[in-house]
Structure 1
Amino acid sequence: MARLAGGKNAGKFFGRYGSWKSLGYIFGPLFGAGLIQAGGFALLFAALSALAAATAIWVAVSLPRFEPVPRVRYTVLDLARQITERRFLVPTAVLAASTGALGAAIGFLPALATRHGLDPVAGTAAVSVLAISSAIISPWVGTRRDVQGISDAAGMRAGLLLTAAGIGIVAAAPGPITLFIAALLIGAGIGTTTPLAFAHLADTTPHERMGRTMGSAELGRELGDAGGPLIVGSLATLGGLPLGLGAIALLVGAASTPRLNRT
């Protein structure tokens, strides 16, 4: 994605990336449930295999060919210095926090819906509201960023605070109405942070380090995806689901405090 952007319009590229990923969260479970109902897991896995094969062919045909970047030798000390730079750590922490919130929300919003007397369809609808919110706002934020309508630092901070507010609302006052308000806010927050964090990394990383930097950032993001539900589930076991959600809201809010270097 960073090389496709070519050093410009990174916000637009990563905004569209976030939007399409959110659409996958919306339609994937719906199509999966329909396939299982129609033909069981055998039909589901056959359809997934066909989709993966078709996507691989499409990528091979459609994507432009990029020459490999000349390899630069770095020492262990160089690597340690690079991954502790603020321009890398702050966006990666933002990605980890927002993805941790996403994982927790997708896992526990349906549980809250069931607890408050709603049927499973309502829980799925809440997750869909989150994904639709993110899909709508993500490309808009990315485009605004490219025309300097939104700064990376302010936008990432606002996105994290929106996400924390959404989780905090449903933790403090869980109910059918607050469930959907929370989903809307969480989706808007994630749709704001994701394109800004990735675009900032793409624009501030030297060309020869792009692959390693983006891969390391994605690793941090996946750690958040695994850690968010784990934190909520562990604390929910000890003191109830509101405690777990409140804790993740505080952690996401705290991730908004570090500042980017001025560039």
Structure 2
Amino acid sequence: MASAPAAAPGTAARWRVWPLYAAGFTTAFGAHGIAANLGEFTQDRFASLLVLGALLAVYDGAEVLLKPLFGALADRVGARPVLLGGLLGFAAASAAFLLVSAAGAPGAALWLARLGQGAAASAFSPAASTLVARLSPRGGRGRAFGSYGFHKSLGYTLGPLLGGLLMALGGMAALFAVMAVLAFAVAVWAAAVVPAVPPLPRTRQTVLDLARRLGQGWFLRPTVALAAATAALSVGVGFLPVSGAAAGLGTVATGAAVSVLAACGALVQPLAGRALDAGRISAPAGLATGLLVTAAGLAAALIPGLAGVLLAAVAIGAGTGLITPVAFAVLAADAPEERMGQVMGSAELGRELGDAGGPLLVAGVATATALSGGFATLALLLALAPLMLVRWRLTARPDAPGGATDGAAGRGTRPAG
């Protein structure tokens, strides 16, 4: 593919970043579009729910293991090659399903495709975040990540709907074919439009240096907030329909509630990013408010009936929509530019752990008590999280290089080293 001209950090025109938003949509659509329809595809092929659960987990498992590695690779060779390679890998993994399935092995095709898609998303997702940060001016990163999050939320929202439509039209083959074409088209678009951002010189770093860097408050504060937001989002998507069904609501009502949750998250993210850039909110206030609103949404799920489900969906969507662009903008502002990919990959790992840990926590507590107990437990943890963020903020190292201090946006101090 032809190489786009190089650009100095923060100087790229906005239209050159649009393929990165499309990459965010692709990974979200790929994750949820297939996951929401696996049950229908596997019900006549795999009798065990454990096998179905493993098929759902293999995509996220690959991301947990590989995102930090691909983030570090983006720092070494440049984020653009990792982005393009990941998108092409996603297209190849999707096409592999068609080939292997046509050869008479649909089960093996599904395992191979899900694993390959997860590994490929592990590459282009942190690379896209890195490029969003480095191609956006420092004062406009909130808006950039808000737009990136908006398009990713669209993928989460439309994935199950479009996936179900494609399944009805042509089965799982049609769904994987569309994903292959989508990923390849985004790769071509990115190759033609996204400018190259050369890697920056880096000092040698040991594993101990990495652990020390990522153990500081500047990284932990936004990453914990991201993990908490993702945990609440996963719980909302997975358990609000269960709560609604227990209250006698039909699938249309509970499905609409989940759509409201995703829509609120998508709409709030650009607004939150612009407010952060304009100084109308500070990063600490944005993260704390988002956590409290999300906690209130989980608590609202305790209200019986449609009112509780809808209030929970609106508040969880709005709270997570506020946290996500603010947290990523904080990470981008405080991370060393030469380690941006590593930081973004590690933060994405935090999100994946929240994605898995939230439902496990709620399910575990609900098994011992009731679903309301699970909602209440996670709500309490999120309500207490701002106190932890304040403690980390008060104990943050004040001796960061470059004279970085808390500015109008309240982004905190930059890390040492």
Shorter chain as normaliser: what TM range?
Answer: over 0.9
Q: List aligned pairs for 1:222-237, cutoff 5 A.
A: 222-237=352-367
User: What per-residue deviation string (whole Å, max 9, x for no partner) do you get for residues 174-223 of structure 1?
Assistant: 32111011100111101100011000111111212211111111111111
Q: Aligned partners of 1:119, 1:62: CA distance in 2, in Å?
A: 46
Contact 2:249–2:305, Cα closer than 8 Å, also in 1:
no
Find the counterpart in structure 2 of residue 139 from structure 1.
Answer: 270
The TM-score, its normalising length taken from structure 2, stands at 0.61
User: What per-residue deviation string (whole Å, max 9, x for no partner) do you get for residues 143-199 of structure 1?
Assistant: 1110111100001100000000000111x3232111011100111101100011000
Contact 1:142–1:195, Cα closer than 8 Å, also in 2:
yes
Q: 1:194 aligns with which of 317, 324, 340?
A: 324
Deviation at 1:38, TM superposition (A): 1.8
Q: 2:190 aligns with which of 41, 59, 74?
A: 59
Find the counterpart in structure 2 of residue 88 from structure 1.
Answer: 219
Find the counterpart in structure 2 of residue 177 from structure 1.
Answer: 307
Q: Aligned partners of 2:190, 2:356: CA distance in 1, in Å?
A: 28
Unaligned runs of 5+ in 1: none
Bigger Rg, structure 1 or 2: 2
Find the counterpart in structure 2 of residue 115 from structure 1.
Answer: 246
Q: 1:207 aligns with which of 337, 361, 373?
A: 337
User: What per-residue deviation string (whole Å, max 9, x for no partner) do you get for residues 17-63 of structure 1?
Assistant: 11111111221111111111222222222222222222222222221
Are 1:74 and 2:214 matched, yes or no? Answer: no
Q: Aligned partners of 2:385, 2:350: CA distance in 1, in Å?
A: 13
Give the fraction of aligned pairs with identical amino acids, expressed as a percent. Answer: 49
Aligned residue identity for 1:188: A
Find the counterpart in structure 2 of residue 13 from structure 1.
Answer: 144
Deviation at 1:141, TM superposition (A): 0.9
Contact 1:25–1:128, Cα closer than 8 Å, also in 2:
no
Q: Which has the higher contact order (CA 8 A, sep 6+)?
A: 1
Unaligned runs of 5+ in 2: 1-131, 397-404, 407-417
Q: 2:173 aligns with which of 42, 53, 57?
A: 42
The TM-score, its normalising length taken from structure 1, stands at 0.95
Contact 1:201–1:214, Cα closer than 8 Å, also in 2:
yes
User: What per-residue deviation string (whole Å, max 9, x for no partner) do you get for residues 53-81 of structure 1?
Assistant: 22222222221111122232123332222
Aligned residue identity for 2:245: T
Q: 1:249 aligns with which of 369, 372, 379?
A: 379
Root mean square deviation, CA, Å:
1.4
Any runs of at least 4 consecutive aligned residues in structure 1 with deviations exceeding 4 A, and if so which?
none
Matched position secondary structure for 2:259: helix
Deviation at 1:3, TM superposition (A): 0.7
Contact 1:72–1:208, Cα closer than 8 Å, also in 2:
no
